[in-house]
């Protein structure tokens, strides 16, 4: 356990990888955590937050906030709410993301723009909003969720690959800009993880994908969460501007 009790925000944190990250941080070193998302089951963010809080069951306070991560004013509102409810922000996890896959020949401009706005512009929005309280307190951990396709590309994912490659470039630049204020900025590049996105694949598609994974299995959201928790801990105080691939050896 960390001596310092931290306060974290996770975009897209109501389910999947985002929720796994929220739960892992709450169990390790956070006294309070907040997820932002565009929607939750039943559209009751307080009830959803209380449900997660009860699941964790260790006294960590969980807050939910409805926000579109692609809109800067809503990112600012999230940070303001976090400062009011939690007293500050120590950890910012930029996790919100979607896919709209298609070959470029068939990809619409709307689908390209949507993926860029949610996957990449959201990282700008929340980093810019969260860095102000972090700079004032001279402490912060920012972890951006990228993807292995941002490193290697993938046919049918020009929009997604571009957005995640952008996240990686943004991460390295922010690490340089914020280091003097004791703010670490890193990225995680997940491989094939069992989530709602990958659940749409049939068995043949999954088998084909796993031929490129030396460990011969898909990862779990908890695999990503544990890596994020490490980068948010004091054990990673001398790590910044890095991209940690969590992919079963897919990209070496």
In angstroms, rounded to a whole number, what is the distance separating the alpha carbons of residues 158 and 179?
Answer: 32
Counted domains in the chain: 1
Question: Residue 169 is part of which domain span?
Answer: 6-246
Residue 27 located in a structural domain: yes
44: Cβ contacts below 8 Å, ≥ 6 apart? none
Q: Average pLDDT of 81-108?
A: 97
Tell me what pLDDT residue 1 has. 36
29-40 pLDDT, tens digit each: 899 999 999 999
DSSP per-residue letters across 38-68: S--GGG-HHHHHHHHHHHH-SS-EEEEEE--
Residue 194, domain CATH: 3.40.50.720
Residue 191 located in a structural domain: yes
Query: Is-catalytic flag, 160?
Result: yes
63-75 pLDDT, tens digit each: 999 999 999 999 9
Tell me what pLDDT residue 4 has. 57
Tell me what pLDDT residue 241 has. 98
Task: Given the residues 63, 139, 160, 238, select the one marked as catalytic.
Answer: 160
Q: How confident is the model at residue 144 (pLDDT cuts 50, 70, 90)?
A: very high
203-232 pLDDT, tens digit each: 888 888 899 999 999 999 999 999 999 999
Residue 48 located in a structural domain: yes
DSSP per-residue letters across 117-150: IIIIIHHHHHHHHHHHHHHHHT-EEEEEE--THH
Structure tokens at 149: 């396709």
């Amino acid at each position: 356990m960390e001596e310092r009790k931290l306060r974290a925000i996770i975009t897209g944190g109501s389910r999947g990888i985002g929720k796994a990250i929220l739960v892992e941080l709450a169990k390790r070193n956070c006294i309070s955590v907040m997820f932002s998302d565009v929607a939750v089951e039943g559209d009751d963010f307080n009830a959803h937050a209380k449900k997660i809080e009860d699941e964790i069951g260790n006294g960590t306070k969980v807050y939910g906030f409805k926000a579109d991560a692609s809109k800067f004013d809503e990112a600012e509102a999230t940070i303001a709410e976090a400062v009011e409810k939690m007293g500050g922000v120590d950890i910012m996890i930029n996790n919100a993301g979607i896919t709209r896959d298609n070959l470029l020949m068939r990809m619409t401009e709307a689908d390209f723009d949507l993926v860029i706005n949610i996957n990449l512009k959201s990282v700008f929005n929340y980093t810019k909003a969260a860095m102000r309280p972090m700079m004032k307190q001279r402490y912060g951990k920012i972890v951006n969720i990228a993807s292995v396709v941002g490193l290697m590309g993938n046919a049918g994912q020009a929009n997604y690959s571009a957005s995640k490659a952008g996240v990686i470039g943004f991460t390295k630049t922010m690490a340089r800009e914020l280091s003097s204020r004791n703010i670490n900025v890193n990225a995680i590049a997940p491989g094939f993880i069992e989530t709602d996105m990958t659940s749409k694949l049939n068995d043949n598609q999954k088998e084909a994908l796993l031929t490129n994974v030396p460990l011969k299995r898909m990862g779990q959201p908890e695999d990503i969460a544990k890596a994020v928790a490490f980068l948010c801990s004091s054990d990673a105080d001398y790590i910044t501007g890095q991209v940690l691939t969590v992919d079963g050896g897919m990209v070496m």
